[in-house]
């Protein structure tokens, strides 16, 4: 097990280095000069060059990259060109909002997905099953930003039940969480149904039923327990997708989260903020992947053996 964890840690380190290199390279080869954008292209060349020197943009790219990596390891992503605030402070503040939305969205996806998927499996082949599968198919096919707009129109503009922007009003997180979690709730529902139907055909389930055990206990204790491994794995992966999908959702609802922070930085070419957000998000993804691999390895030793652990 130690060897398995060590290999995953090495892989995680390589991925993070690759992310920093690709991000830094792309940001420095795309057109546009941050100094010119800061001055709105109204300053003379001498002033622009002075600003570039103050920001360190006139140094060789290799030196800039090495300094960026060294500072990033210490949790220092520099200062925003436009906000004049430490990037790590901006990221932490925005991430708390994104984490809150993501947690609500994940909770909605898990509760709705598992409940509906279980009902569909229990009532397989009935009108209930077919209706649930139809709804989940629509849910999987619907982009988060489209669901967000529909929810805003119905519950915000038409019926005036919930706020459609910001995070200060009561219930402000309800619509964004549902919009962000809808696709994953539908995916979890379909996966739950498939896994449970597969588990229901196993011998231990037939044995439990032959003993006269109540169907509810059979489903929850025997079927769901053994069908939960792929559901848990997918749920862990869903955390990453929710974090990535929060960008458009936060923009639609004008929520000051990590996604909106990154999009605003891209629009203004605020390089320290962009680099900090990308590396921070990549680190979160890598950590989640690492925890999933370790958990899955503990849960199923065959995974360690198959991967040469």
Q: What is the pTM of this model?
A: 0.74
Q: Does residue 250 sit within a domain?
A: yes
Largest CA distance in the chain: 87
Q: Does residue 285 sit within a domain?
A: no
Q: Does residue 134 sit within a domain?
A: yes
Task: Note the pLDDT of residue 1.
Answer: 65
**Residue 31 pLDDT exceeds 90:** no
Under the banding of pLDDT at 50, 70 and 90, the label for residue 40 is low
**Residue 307 pLDDT exceeds 60:** no
Mean pLDDT of 174-203: 88
Listed range (2-11, 85-94, 163-172, 189-198) with the worst mean pLDDT: 2-11
* Higher-confidence position of 27 and 249: 249
Task: Note the pLDDT of residue 177.
Answer: 92
Under the banding of pLDDT at 50, 70 and 90, the label for residue 131 is very high
* Higher-confidence position of 308 and 78: 78
What share of the chain has pLDDT > 70, as a percent?
86
Q: Does residue 62 sit within a domain?
A: no
The domain spanning residue 145 has which CATH number?
Answer: 1.10.3720.10
Listed range (39-48, 96-105, 126-135) with the worst mean pLDDT: 39-48
Q: Does residue 47 sit within a domain?
A: no
Task: Note the pLDDT of residue 62.
Answer: 86
Under the banding of pLDDT at 50, 70 and 90, the label for residue 72 is confident
Mean pLDDT of 150-175: 89
Residue 108 structural domain: 87-269
Under the banding of pLDDT at 50, 70 and 90, the label for residue 221 is low
Total number of domains in the chain: 1
**Residue 175 pLDDT exceeds 60:** yes
Q: Does residue 129 sit within a domain?
A: yes
Q: Does residue 303 sit within a domain?
A: no
Q: Does residue 241 sit within a domain?
A: yes
Mean pLDDT of 237-243: 76
Under the banding of pLDDT at 50, 70 and 90, the label for residue 105 is very high
């Amino acid at each position: 097990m130690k060897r398995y964890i060590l290999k995953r840690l090495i892989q995680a380190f390589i991925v993070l280095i690759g992310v920093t290199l690709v991000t830094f390279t792309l940001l420095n080869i795309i057109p546009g000069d941050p100094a010119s954008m800061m001055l709105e292209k109204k300053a003379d060349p001498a002033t622009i060059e002075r600003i570039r020197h103050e920001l360190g943009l006139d140094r060789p790219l290799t030196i800039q990259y090495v300094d960026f990596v060294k500072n990033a390891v210490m949790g220092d992503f520099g200062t925003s060109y436009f906000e004049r605030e430490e990037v790590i402070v901006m990221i932490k503040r925005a991430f708390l909002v994104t984490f809150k939305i993501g947690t609500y969205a994940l909770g909605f996806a898990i509760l709705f997905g598992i409940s509906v998927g279980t009902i569909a499996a229990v009532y397989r082949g009935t009108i209930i099953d077919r209706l649930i599968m139809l709804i989940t198919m629509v849910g999987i096919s619907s982009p988060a930003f489209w669901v967000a707009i529909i929810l805003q129109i119905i519950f915000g503009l038409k019926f005036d039940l919930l706020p459609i922007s910001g995070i200060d009003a009561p219930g402000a997180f309800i619509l964004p969480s549902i919009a962000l979690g809808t696709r994953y709730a539908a995916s979890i529902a379909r996966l739950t149904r498939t896994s449970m139907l597969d588990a229901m055909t196993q011998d231990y389930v037939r044995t439990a039923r032959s003993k006269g055990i109540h169907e509810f206990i059979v489903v929850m204790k025997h079927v769901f327990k053994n069908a939960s491994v792929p559901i848990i794995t997918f749920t862990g992966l869903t955390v990453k997708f929710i974090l990535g999908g929060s960008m458009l959702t936060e923009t639609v609802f004008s929520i000051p989260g990590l996604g909106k922070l990154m999009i605003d930085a891209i629009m203004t070419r605020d390089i320290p903020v962009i680099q900090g957000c990308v590396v921070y998000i990549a680190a979160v993804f890598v950590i989640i992947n690492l925890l999933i691999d370790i958990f899955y390895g503990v849960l199923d030793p065959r995974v360690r053996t198959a991967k040469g652990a």
